[in-house]
Chains A and B, each alone.
Chain A
């Protein structure tokens, strides 16, 4: 069976400098793939290529075995949902209205949301724990609350693949755990997810596989225990670290303070 999402030899330069250099990556059905790497290593660019916001210079991207280029924008939006790093909304849309925007790929251009769409949006807000914000303008929400709104919008999209670009960056620890637990539950029901993260500990605990990106190249990929090893971490992040067994057997990265930065 073909992977849910597959990148083969994806190469892309932006403004003359190479950002992705022959990236091979596959995301299985029901799998959570953690994408790690230092700032500027190409993680967000990879998400952009996977959603065809950027076209690769070379290589190909397949979605469910089909070339990404053969999808219409709306088809793509019904299959792939993205939670971006940060969202700012200049107009005072209410939370429910923003979550309902996730239903847009399922409706006609002038389409009005049906009761079913509204129920889906409400359900997504309840799962993320923001049902109480439904009537609040998103312009008055905190950064963390806005991130949860965007996550609920992505859930309402009913896509089989979620691409989460640092979905927990603005969240406190309790909400980080809640979001990643939710992604785990979604994976159990057959959805796949790529989670871009800087939190190596949480990524190791919640992801089935990790991929370590360094200067546009996949340095290592596989189960967390195989990827989070001192040599790879030194090359990817420029740090020296000890790996100790964490709870549940997941590797725990303990950076050495005197290491080169």
Chain B
């Protein structure tokens, strides 16, 4: 068998980086005015025609970069939730943590102006919403150690139902006009991508990865259980605190700029585990790069599938992710990993 070595890690991460680069070039090339990959690369390098440079750098690049950052954040958050809850079905969207982030963000969008809070407060509010939902979730899960898949999913259903109801309530209070834009945003889309948003998400993502990467080996040990991990030298409470913070940062940032994009944190870690195995030293960087590539491609489909109209990217990830997840679930239940 092939064990993970530094060399193998470097080669595989480079491979995933290449995959992401290819999907970014595809995302920049495909659109109403189709460009060849060569023209995209020339524009990226500062050459080519001014029109190409305008399309690639000004119109498409911010959105593609934002899709990559959101995809990476959601995918890594999925990896971390699954490891922390010791359950491959855990995911920020399914568990309602994204819903908590959305509630925080919507509250600021609805009432922020009257409280003197500008748009800059949306991301911090989403972070706080995600953090509150995560702490609540771990409070429920932590009381009895490891939750069964059934209890976990039921907890998620309840959390999501509560968050949706609260969002509807807040949106209704805010008045219909604002409410409509809120609902569009909640389907999950990247159409209003701006460079400063991408920068903000990048900061949250780097901070989250900075917490998670050094703890990757500890997450492997956590698969044995909290007590065995402790007995193998892991400071489990400290690790959990840091990773709760990391996931809340990443989910909060992703939801604040893109709304509720589902299934990325579920599908990508699942697929990667099938191909690469469950070791987190590889799964975390591969999850970031793979999730980024996936959402760039989904968003490219979302804005080019229908002529002259856009699908929300959340609809595309759900259409791709839902059926794929059912296939994976069946496969997994064939094995014995789901107890």
Contact = CB atoms under 8 A, between A and B. Distances in A.
Interface of A: 48, 51, 53, 72-74, 76-78, 80-82, 84, 87-94, 96-98, 100-102, 104-105, 107, 109-113, 118, 134-135, 137, 139-140, 157
Given A91-B278, A139-B335, A140-B336, A98 B214 contact: no
A88 B225 CA distance: 8
Contact of B224 (A72, A76, A87, A157): A87
Given A89-B223, A93-B277, A80 B231 contact: yes
Given A53-B230, A97-B3, A110-B217, A87 B225 contact: yes
A90 B1 contact: no
B73 interface: no
A92 B86 contact: no
Interface residues of B, number: 38
Contacts of A76: 231, 233
Given A110-B217, A113-B3, A139-B335, A89 B232 contact: no
B231 A82 contact: yes
Contacts, number: 103
A137 B331 CA distance: 15
Nearest to A73: B233
B53 to A, nearest CB: 41
Nearest to B338: A90
Given A82-B228, A96-B1, A104-B234, 16 more contacts: A53-B227, A53-B230, A73-B234, A80-B231, A84-B227, A90-B339, A92-B335, A97-B277, A98-B224, A101-B221, A109-B214, A110-B213, A110-B214, A110-B216, A137-B335, A157-B232
B48 to A, nearest CB: 42
Nearest to A100: B3
Contacts of A100: 3
Nearest to B280: A91
A77 to B, nearest CB: 4
Contact of A139 (B1, B3, B221, B336): B336
A104 B217 contact: yes
17 contacts: A51-B230, A73-B233, A77-B233, A81-B231, A84-B225, A90-B146, A90-B338, A91-B273, A93-B279, A97-B279, A101-B221, A101-B232, A110-B213, A113-B3, A135-B1, A139-B337, A157-B232
